[in-house]
């Protein structure tokens, strides 16, 4: 069944409308975008209930089409990390034997080349372009993992349930969301030594974060109806932006285009995409989706926003700050199959449970 998204769109969208890439029975999850190579990667599950396997799709970001070579995953679809220099993608998940693993996709050969044992249940994964290592969060710790040798180098305890991360390559610091402590812990990326802890306004459950290094601002999906902002020069809390009038709404995902002030967040329930003008701290647009979204990413080259939702990946054209909005239901739809990645049925059932859990309830 094809699901179309009805959206409240600013006037600048009226010319072409959003593009909805509809995966044929599948549930896309995480998204990473390689802007330099013009591709976006999406992992997810294939098939109806129970799923028949796990998939890795490649989207051409110029034509907004799914490449024919949809690949199978050997792990449950989890968070992903991109090495922008090599184009390699690291997919965190659980393999058929139930071991916590990282599968490596080679960006040059466009194929999976390795399956590494992580040894910890990965909640979030990030590539550090300075050290060449992977940073992982699992339980209450941050781990530094060498993808070249497949070995764990060190770990540091950060508090009560470590979640999303963001790296400031100019300072060599990594920001870690401490989900159950309503704070952000700052560590050095080289040795995971503690720098400081930034406390956020309660109540909050910080999860994903997005860093604008040019503006020196860290945007945090707070788990309440706000986006919290941290000044990364002083490493102090700066302000909160209310993105939903209803206090029961919760931000759970966030993305931005660096240097433009365009910041986007997802809120639940009744998934809404909200755009924030980072320079003024004001909300400039909201888009109500009719299907449940999971994650999003911004193409830094074009400013386009990609949102993974139930059966869909929705692509929005660059959004510019404006005061007036119009409503349209124009939707361009490309229907493409995503029937790859056959895996063991028992593993499929496990993945179903993992993907259905929303970030706030993890």
Region 168-177: mean pLDDT is 97
Domain assignment of residue 3, yes or no = no
Domain assignment of residue 139, yes or no = yes
Domain assignment of residue 112, yes or no = yes
**Distance (Å, whole) CA 143 – CA 157:** 9
Residue 285 clears pLDDT 50, i.e. is over it: yes
The per-residue pLDDT for 200 is 98
The per-residue pLDDT for 6 is 30
The per-residue pLDDT for 21 is 79
More confident residue, 325 or 192: 192
**Distance (Å, whole) CA 123 – CA 145:** 14
Instruction: Give the number of domains in the chain.
Output: 1
Q: At 50, is the pLDDT very low, low, confident or very high (cuts 50, 70, 90)?
A: low
Domain assignment of residue 6, yes or no = no
Domain assignment of residue 5, yes or no = no
Q: pLDDT of 93-126, one tens digit each?
A: 999 899 999 999 999 999 999 999 999 999 999 9
The per-residue pLDDT for 70 is 76
Domain assignment of residue 1, yes or no = no
pTM recorded for the entire structure: 0.85
Domain assignment of residue 290, yes or no = yes
**Distance (Å, whole) CA 282 – CA 295:** 22
Residues 6+ apart with CB under 8 A from 251: 221, 222, 223, 224, 225, 226, 227, 243, 265, 266, 267
DSSP 158-219: -SSSEEEEEEETTTTEEEEEETTTTEEEEEETTT--EEEEEE-PSS-----EEEETTTTEEE
The mean-pLDDT minimum among 1-5, 56-60, 243-247 falls in: 1-5
**Distance (Å, whole) CA 134 – CA 261:** 28
Q: What are phi and psi of 272, to 5 degrees?
A: -125, 135
DSSP class of residue 361 equals: G
Which tokens in the block code for residue 229? 């902002």
Q: At 340, is the pLDDT very low, low, confident or very high (cuts 50, 70, 90)?
A: very low
CATH number of the CATH domain containing 97: 2.130.10.10
The per-residue pLDDT for 286 is 84
Domain assignment of residue 303, yes or no = yes
Cis peptide before 215 (omega within 30 of 0): no
Cis peptide before 255 (omega within 30 of 0): no
- Mean of per-residue pLDDT scores for the chain: 82
Q: What are phi and psi of 28, to 5 degrees?
A: -65, 145
Residue 151 domain boundaries: 11-361
The closest alpha carbon to 294, from 55, 99, 59, 77, belongs to 77
The mean-pLDDT minimum among 35-39, 80-84, 320-324, 358-362 falls in: 320-324
The per-residue pLDDT for 74 is 92
The per-residue pLDDT for 124 is 98
At 351 the three-state DSSP class reads helix
Residue 47 clears pLDDT 50, i.e. is over it: yes
Q: At 270, is the pLDDT very low, low, confident or very high (cuts 50, 70, 90)?
A: confident
The per-residue pLDDT for 46 is 73
């Amino acid at each position: 069944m094809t699901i179309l998204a009805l959206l409240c769109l600013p006037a600048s969208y009226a010319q072409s409308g959003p593009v909805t890439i509809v995966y044929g029975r599948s549930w896309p999850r995480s998204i990473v975008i390689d802007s330099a190579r013009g591709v976006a990667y999406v992992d997810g599950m294939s098939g109806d209930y129970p799923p028949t396997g796990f998939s890795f799709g490649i989207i051409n970001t110029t034509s907004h089409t799914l490449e024919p070579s949809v690949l199978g995953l050997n792990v449950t679809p989890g968070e992903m990390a991109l090495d922008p220099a090599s184009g390699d993608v690291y997919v965190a998940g659980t393999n058929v034997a139930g071991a916590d693993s990282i599968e490596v996709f080679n960006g040059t050969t466009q194929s999976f080349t390795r399956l590494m044992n992580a040894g910890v249940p990965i909640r979030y994964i990030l590539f550090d372009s300075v050290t060449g290592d992977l940073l992982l969060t699992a339980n209450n710790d941050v781990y530094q993992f060498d993808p070249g040798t497949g070995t764990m180098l060190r770990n540091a305890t950060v508090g009560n349930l470590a979640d999303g991360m963001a790296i400031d390559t100019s300072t060599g610091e990594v920001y870690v969301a401490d989900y159950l402590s309503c704070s952000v812990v700052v560590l050095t990326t080289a040795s995971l030594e503690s720098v400081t802890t930034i406390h956020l306004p309660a109540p909050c459950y910080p999860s994903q974060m997005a860093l604008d290094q040019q503006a020196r601002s860290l945007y945090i999906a707070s788990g309440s109806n706000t986006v919290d902002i941290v000044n990364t020069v002083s490493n102090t809390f700066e302000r909160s932006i209310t993105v939903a009038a209803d206090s029961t709404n919760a931000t759970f995902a966030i993305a931005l285009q660096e240097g433009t002030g365009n910041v986007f967040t997802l809120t639940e329930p009744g998934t809404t995409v909200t755009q924030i003008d980072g320079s003024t701290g004001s909300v400039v647009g909201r888009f109500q989706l009719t299907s449940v979204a999971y994650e999003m990413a911004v193409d830094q080259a074009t400013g386009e926003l990609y949102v993974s939702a139930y059966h869909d990946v929705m692509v929005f054209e660059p959004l510019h700050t404006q005061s007036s909005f119009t409503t349209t239901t124009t939707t361009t739809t490309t229907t493409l199959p995503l029937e790859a990645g056959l895996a063991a049925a028992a593993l499929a059932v496990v993945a179903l449970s993992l993907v259905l859990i929303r970030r706030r309830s993890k």
